[in-house]
Amino acid sequence: MSRFQVTFLPYNTSIEVAAGQSVIRAAMEAGVHINASCGGDGGCGKCRVMIEQGQVEGGISEHLSQEDRDKGYRLACQAHVNEAVTIRIPVESAIDTSALLRQSPRQTARIKQMDLDDIKEQGLFAPPMEKLYLELPPPSAGDNLPDISRLVNYLRIRHEERGLEISLPVIRKIPSVFREQDFKVTVTVARPVRPSGKNQIINVEPGDTTDSNYAVAMDIGTTTIYGQVVDLGTGEVLAEAGKFNGQISYGEDVISRIMFAEKPEGLETIHQVVIETVNQVLAKIIKQSKVARECISLLTLAGNTTMTQLLLKVEPRYIRRSPYVPASRIYPHIKACDLGIDLDDHVTALVYPQVSSYVGGDIVAGVMGSGMYRTEKMTLFLDIGTNAEVVIGNRDWMACAACSAGPAFEGGGIEFGMRAAKGAIEDFSIDPETLEPMIVTIGNVRPKGICGSGLITMVAILFEMGVINNQGKFDRDLGTDRIRKTKDIWEYVLAYKDETQIDRDIVINEIDIENLIRAKGAIYSGCMTLLAEVGMGPDDIEQIILAGGFGSYVDLEKAMVIGLLPEIDAGRVNYVGNASLLGARMSALTNRIREEVVGVTNMMTNFELSETPSYMDNYVAALFLPHTDVDRFPKVKTQMEARRQALVDLRLSASDSN
Amino acid sequence: MSRFQVTFLPYNTSIEVAAGQSVIRAAMEAGVHINASCGGDGGCGKCRVMIEQGQVEGGISEHLSQEDRDKGYRLACQAHVNEAVTIRIPVESAIDTSALLRQSPRQTARIKQMDLDDIKEQGLFAPPMEKLYLELPPPSAGDNLPDISRLVNYLRIRHEERGLEISLPVIRKIPSVFREQDFKVTVTVARPVRPSGKNQIINVEPGDTTDSNYAVAMDIGTTTIYGQVVDLGTGEVLAEAGKFNGQISYGEDVISRIMFAEKPEGLETIHQVVIETVNQVLAKIIKQSKVARECISLLTLAGNTTMTQLLLKVEPRYIRRSPYVPASRIYPHIKACDLGIDLDDHVTALVYPQVSSYVGGDIVAGVMGSGMYRTEKMTLFLDIGTNAEVVIGNRDWMACAACSAGPAFEGGGIEFGMRAAKGAIEDFSIDPETLEPMIVTIGNVRPKGICGSGLITMVAILFEMGVINNQGKFDRDLGTDRIRKTKDIWEYVLAYKDETQIDRDIVINEIDIENLIRAKGAIYSGCMTLLAEVGMGPDDIEQIILAGGFGSYVDLEKAMVIGLLPEIDAGRVNYVGNASLLGARMSALTNRIREEVVGVTNMMTNFELSETPSYMDNYVAALFLPHTDVDRFPKVKTQMEARRQALVDLRLSASDSN
């Protein structure tokens, strides 16, 4: 895709964007503020900009008079970049606020996905299910061995296969399948992870079907269940889809699900519900991929400990009771159909092992899928979802812990919090002088609420601009109507009701900010406690791997400004997306990696933060922006000092000019 | 039990019998003829004998006048031995027929059952399922391993257990069972047959239940399903029962069952039916044994190839079609409940492997259970049931074959044939002069028909007494009403209708005899063909092991007289009864023997007699009494010559005296 340079005046800030990008998003990326309250749907008409060189596509609106249009004014949210352009932002004040603008463009984590070619080159591509086409000699009077003996002997002699096992359902199929195409058959062999293991013949089909061999990889999330259809011949993903976990109606988090499961018939009910969602996702991706259901021979699953136990219908009540004991670390191979999953009865389900009650198979999958278990680099792996889990270590050792971060990052406990869906404010900036906001929503529609990554940016910028202090309290003396007290709670108005979809003012208030601070404090202090337990400090971290729902949208600099992440060069942060799904897919593609899963799981030393005395001290110290001890964030500290001085100057000159 | 000597005059023949034995059975045993037609219920009053010394119990009947009673006359079938007695048989003719009496008392095979003590002494007592009582340390904040890890670690450290596997259903039970009696539990471990195999934890129970560990051994016969409850602690059988296989209503033999299974839904139906019988037998023996159903941890099964495939619902159609291919030799471990068997879901079913379409798991079980696979002695193993199977060999090699003997030995194709049940004529003798019969029935009731062992004795005696010739045809000139022609078929009347339960004359006719000759010819020629194939002859046989429904009742001498068995010292013939059930029980008691099952099965070389050219010649030669070549039966030949001379003398003097 072509990319074009956009230069913003009067700041003379340039950025390169992809063709078709809206001007307002280009500005946001560049750290250039343009007043905008309607989320990008052209409704407020505030984001007027003047095109000085080049042309943009669109941006003409009834909010602009013919005269303005002729002068080159356009609405930034409606205008799209299709060539190099120079754009002037009308500055309402003459004061130079450039010092207050972001120093660097928005930085998100580099997305690191699975590199199939690399896996193949390393000789790691070895799916657990292999299909072999065989032309067996038909029986005769002089050779009337049982069908199974015929098959096993042939495989032993012609294919040097050893340690073969065949289950009764496959034996039941064999007599008729063998005779359907005159003893020409395709067998599906489940390969063991260790050479000493058994090779199980899990299916037999007439004729040659070796080019139709598929797996389904699934992430059983507390909120969402994602699935992929994977071609075991090529390793490619043929389809992917997700659906909300139907268990949501029984509780948002794992604790409430466990509590439901403790009721009479509760476990059976909540187990059935998740299986139903699994089957819906399956139906969706199978349809999408156009693969025949009977050609799927493998299902790989990853989920947290509670989700795994509910999926497998294993009593979860001891997970939530001290001393927090899960049922099992490792689960055996299971027949997918035995769980009620709509797959043929030969399909094996492989379930990722768990470390502890709150560090589950999704995290193990992430550690495997992200390659953390193979790297020499000292790594901080952080999965922020409904809960947050931390893993520190590298290929030699690993320590892990779960943080009760609460649901703030997913919109829980935030008055206008919402999931990252259409209408969620995902990016934010503020005019340092007028304190007018610039908001951009997912889907460029009028705002409905604030998603996790938007919230982080918002709190960071409010803090950077001195609108809130390091305890998250608003400066009561800034002289703007946007900061106000409603029902005894101070708040900042992001969008007035006529600019929203919900006919109410959308605000961020001090309780929201406090909840975010608690959440980031829990995660940061979790990381610090864990580091301290293994005798290390934040400086020892060589890379961060971010996983989870919102990871790719988070502005890393902002995450460091609020003290969610330790300060590190943004280039050393990788985002792996849904690590659980990634790990599940990895399992479907390579026995070489599966082979190491149990070893890695056993290597992951679990720390119960609630049992670690220093955790509470670390937590309390982290309930500030960015932290009680700002020296832990030297870059933030330097920027903050520079900005604070600029703000003082700005506000002084503003009061002068009044 | 006390035994007493009974001496019969005028023959001066003595025999020792158990206290309570009836005089008529004692006479039968001793080879002394007493006319008797009512089967032993006292109805015909013919069996008058005089007690000369000592006293018998009972025997007084309305058929005897007071005068006779006073003289010491009693009815032999109603009189019982309770001390040493001398009994005179009233001889209707003065001619001395002693030369025509049997030389030796009735000889049945020695019953050889499993010797538990011997198994234990040899260190072979090692049931596949073992219970271990464990007192696990309960979890704490400092030790909150998953339940399964706690268990596995404890077993590894305290019990040196390795290679443990736990299935999902057991994992599901563990969290609550562990906490029921404060982490004091009993686990049931399924031991592998090879030390390198996996130890599977198949069950977990609260508290100490190590003294309640049971197995069920079952023989899935075409006609009857037998089961035993076995105590895995002691090896003792606690209960045993059998029931007719419900599949009988779909056909008497395996071929008709397969044909039914080929109909739409036929396999499902006939599978369900056998499972139903299995469940009925189970209910019966569990009730009998007073064992709690949930304390049964193992089910061992043996059956012929067709019965095994129907039990496991495996398509049997290719068993009955040339080239006679069964589905599998070996079947994996199966969960009993997966077959619909009413046992707890942790119960493993072990199924005996098959050799070929017509040498099945029942025969392998017999070879194992009888110890044939361990002996140095060259052995002929013969299982005569609905079909007949032959195994020749010893611990170094074995050859086997199935003979299509037909159902004559079970009463099929015999006009008054019946199974060995109450009212079946089981023993027979004939007065050499008057040709009047002496019959004894099972249960000492009026006769209803003839069972297999009775038929063999009958044909042998008719042949010995010159009533039939070596082709089984009656001597038409013997001048007795008992030999007659009805609807063009010659027959001998065993009992007139007023002496029977069925209000019809019970006869044995030439077609019956021909069917028996065909059946014995098939078996004998099967043995001979197999011997020839391995380069041996009947003289090489050092012992015979008889198995099957009627084996213990067969008079061995008579079986040799008709040429069913090769001539051998009767002391070298052992009867193991239901060898299939014996082998199933053996499997339940010792992994050491199970370990060798697959090797033994693979060692058993199968011969398809229908594909062996010499079989038909051997068969035709065997369609005589005892055989075309009487020199193969030297003892029979000598006796026959002596008897024939005696008969000629007898009949000459009889005609003289007339």
Q: pLDDT digits over A324-381, tens only?
A: 999 999 999 999 999 999 999 999 999 999 999 999 999 999 999 999 999 999 999 9
Please tell me the distance in Å from A531's CA to the nearest CA on chain B.
19
The residue in chain B having the minimum alpha-carbon distance to the alpha carbon of residue A317 is: B175
Q: Which residues contact B280 (CB under 8 A, 6 or more apart)?
A: B243
A171 closest CB neighbour out of B149, B168, B327: B327
Pick from A147, A166, A328: CB nearest B146: A328
> What's the predicted TM-score (pTM) here?
0.87
Considering only the beta carbons, identify the residue of A146, A313, A334 that sits closest to B354.
Answer: A146
Residues of B in contact with A356 (CB under 8 A): 144, 146
Question: What are the DSSP E strand ranges found in B431-509?
Answer: 437-441, 449-450, 483-486, 489-495, 506-509
CB B546 within 8 A of CB B379: no
- Quick one: which of B482, B543, B480 has its CA closest to B509? B482
Q: Which residue has 């199929």 as its token pair?
A: A173
Tokens encoding B61: 């009947």
Q: Give the closest residue to A196 by CA, choosing from B163, B64, B550, B126.
A: B163
Q: Which of B379, B361, B369 is nearest to B534 (CA)?
A: B379
Looking at beta carbons, which residues of chain B come within 8 Å of A174? 327-328
| % chain B with pLDDT above 90 | 74
Contact A148 B176 (CB under 8 A): no
DSSP code at position A459: H
pLDDT reported for residue B433: 84
Overall average pLDDT of the B620-639 stretch: 93
Per-residue confidence at A149, pLDDT binned at 50, 70, 90? very high
DSSP character at residue B126: B
Report the sign of the C-alpha dihedral through residues A264, A266, A267, A272, in that order.
positive
Distance CA B418, CA B413 (A): 10
User: Residues A528, A618: contact at Cβ < 8 Å?
Assistant: yes
The reply to whether A172 touches chain B by the CB within 8 Å rule is yes
Distances (CA, A) of B139 to A294, A323, A603, B155, B387: 44, 7, 20, 16, 60
H-state helical runs in A181-233? none
Residue A415 CA neighbour count, 13 Å, CB half: 18
Find the length of chain A: 658
Comparing alpha-carbon positions, the chain B residue that sits nearest to A165 is: B332
> Does residue B538 have a pLDDT over 80?
yes
Look at residue B551 and tell me whether its pLDDT is greater than 70: no
Any A CB within 8 A of B195 CB: no
* B 61-100: CB under 8 A from A: none
pLDDT digit string (tens) for B380-399?
999 987 689 999 999 999 99
Residue A103 in this model has a pLDDT that exceeds 50: no
Q: Is B226 on the interface with A (CB under 8 A)?
A: no
If one compares B387 and B523, the residue with the highest pLDDT of the two is: B523
Give the span between the Cα atoms of A560 and B464, in whole angstroms. Answer: 110
Q: Quote the tokens at residue A307.
A: 């989700």
Looking at residue A184, what is its pLDDT?
Answer: 98
Residues of A in contact with B172 (CB under 8 A): 312-315, 327
Spell out the residues 6+ positions from residue A523 whose beta carbon is closer than 8 angstroms to its own: A382, A384, A388, A390, A403, A405, A564
Indicate yes or no: CB of A326 within 8 angstroms of CB of B174: no
Hey, which residues 345-384 in chain A have their CB within 8 Å of chain B? 354, 356-357
CA distance A251 to chain B (A): 23
Q: How many CB atoms lie within 10 A of CB B211?
A: 12
**How far is CA A551 from each of CA A28, A555, A563, rounded to the nearest angstrom?**
18, 9, 15
pLDDT at B643: 82
Q: Cα separation of A469 and B32, whole Å?
A: 121
Q: A438: closest CA among A76, A97, A95?
A: A76
* A613 at interface of B, judged by CB pairs closer than 8 A: no
**Which residues lie closer than 8 Å to A467 by C-beta, 6 or more apart?**
A430, A435, A461, A474, A475, A478, A483, A492
Residues in contact with B589: Cβ distance below 8 Å, sequence separation at least 6, in sequence order = B116, B119, B125, B126, B127, B215, B230, B232, B235
pLDDT surpassing 70 at residue A110: yes
* Residues of chain A positioned with their CB less than 8 A from the CB of B327: 146-148, 171-172, 174-175
Rounded to a whole number of angstroms, the distance from the CA of A425 to the nearest CA of chain B is: 42
Cα–Cα distances in angstroms (integers) from residue B608 to residues A84, A246, A252, B134, B408, in the given order: 88, 60, 68, 53, 22
Q: Residues near A608 by Cβ (< 8 Å), separated by ≥ 6? A: A323, A324, A356, A401, B141, B144
d(CA A295, CA A211): 10
Q: Does ipTM exceed 0.85?
A: yes
Compute the nearest-CA separation of A319 from chain B (Å): 9
Residue in the block written with tokens 């234990």: B120
Q: Is B183 on the interface with A (CB under 8 A)?
A: no
pLDDT number for residue A224: 92
HSE toward the beta carbon, residue A407, CA cutoff 13 A:
17
Instruction: Give the chain B residue nearest A331 (alpha carbons).
Output: B168
Q: Do B354 and A322 touch (CB under 8 A)?
A: no
Distance CA B565, CA B382 (A): 9
- Would you place residue A315 in the very low, low, confident or very high pLDDT band (cuts 50, 70, 90)? very high
Two tokens, residue A460: 């960071």
Residue A104 has what pLDDT?
Answer: 54
Q: Contact A327/B166, CB-based, under 8 Å?
A: no
The C-alpha atoms of residue B345 and residue B347 are separated, in whole angstroms, by 6
> What's the confidence (pLDDT) of residue A651?
74
Supply the DSSP symbol for A159.
Answer: H
pLDDT reported for residue A106: 64
How far is Cα of residue A531 from the mean position of the Cα atoms in its chain? Answer: 23
3-state secondary structure of A373: helix
Query: From the centroid of its chain, how far is CA B68?
Result: 43
Interface residue A315 vs chain B (CB under 8 A): yes
For residue A141, the SS3 value is: coil
Cβ(B242)–Cβ(B225) below 8 Å: yes
A contacts of B145 (beta carbons < 8 Å): 325, 329
What the block records as the tokens of B80 is: 């019982």
Nearest CB neighbour to A146, from listed B315, B322, B325: B325
**Tell me: the pLDDT tens digits for B50-70?**
999 999 999 998 889 999 999
- Which residues of chain A does B608 touch, with a Cβ-Cβ cutoff of 8 Å? 141, 144
Answer whether A322 touches B (CB < 8 Å): yes
Q: How confident is the model at residue B212, as a pLDDT?
A: 97
pLDDT averaged over chain A?
A: 92
Tokens found for residue B417: 């044939």
User: Do the Cβ atoms of A293 and A352 come closer than 8 Å?
Assistant: no
Indicate if the pLDDT at residue A655 is higher than 70: no
Query: What value does the mean pLDDT of chain B take?
Result: 91
3-class secondary structure, A33: coil
Taking CB atoms and an 8 Å cutoff, what residues of chain A touch B313? 172
Whether B103 has a pLDDT exceeding 60, the answer reads: no
Q: What confidence tier does B317 reach under pLDDT thresholds 50, 70, 90?
A: very high
CA distances from B169 to A300, A313, B445, B654 (A): 19, 9, 54, 82
Percent of chain B, pLDDT > 70?
96
* Residue B158 CB neighbours (<10 A): 12
Chain B residues in contact with A602 by the CB 8 A cut-off are none
Distance, in Å, from the CA atom of A622 to the CA atom of A630, rounded to the nearest integer, reads: 10
DSSP character for A473? P
Say what the pLDDT of residue A590 is: 93
Cβ of residue A649 closer than 8 Å to a chain B Cβ = no
For strand B398-403 and strand B388-393, is the pairing parallel, antiparallel, or unpaired? Answer: antiparallel
B16: number of Cβ within 10 Å: 15
Check residue B472 and report its DSSP letter: S
For A247-258, how does the pLDDT look when each residue is reduced to its tens digit (9 = 90+)?
A: 999 998 899 999
Which tens digit of pLDDT belongs to each residue from B459-481?
A: 999 998 889 999 999 999 998 99
pLDDT of residue A98: 57
CB–CB of A147 and B608 under 8 A? no
Q: Answer whether A144 sits within 8 Å of B176, measured CB to CB.
A: no
Q: How far apart are CA B267 and CA A13, in angstroms?
A: 80
A628 vs A631: CA distance, rounded Å = 9
Least confident span in A205-214, A608-617, B99-108? B99-108
Choose, out of A171, A331, A341, the residue to mutate when testing the contact with B (most B CBs < 10 Å). Answer: A171
Provide the pLDDT confidence category of residue B132 given band limits of 50, 70 and 90.
Answer: very high
Q: Predicted confidence band at B28 (pLDDT cuts at 50, 70, 90)?
A: confident
Coil vs helix vs strand at B510:
helix
Q: The tokens of A391 are what?
A: 């893993």
DSSP B250: G
Interchain CB distance below 8 Å, A144 and B327: no
Paired tokens of A480: 């703007």
pLDDT at residue B93 tops 90 = no
pLDDT over 60 (residue A100): no
**CA nearest neighbour of B587 among B599, B574, B596:** B596
SS3 for A294-337, per residue? Answer: HHEEEEEEEECHHHHHHHCCCCCHHHCCCCCCCCCCCCCCEEHH
What does residue B647 show for φ and ψ, rounded to 5 degrees?
A: -65, -40
| Confidence band of A630 (pLDDT split at 50, 70, 90) | very high
Cβ-Cβ contacts under 8 Å, B142 against chain A: 611
Structure tokens, A654:
């503003």
| DSSP result, B571-603 | GGEEE-SSHHHHHHHHHHHBHHHHHHHHHHHHH
Which residues in chain B have Cβ-Cβ distances shorter than 8 Å to A322? 141
CB–CB of A322 and B141 under 8 A?
yes
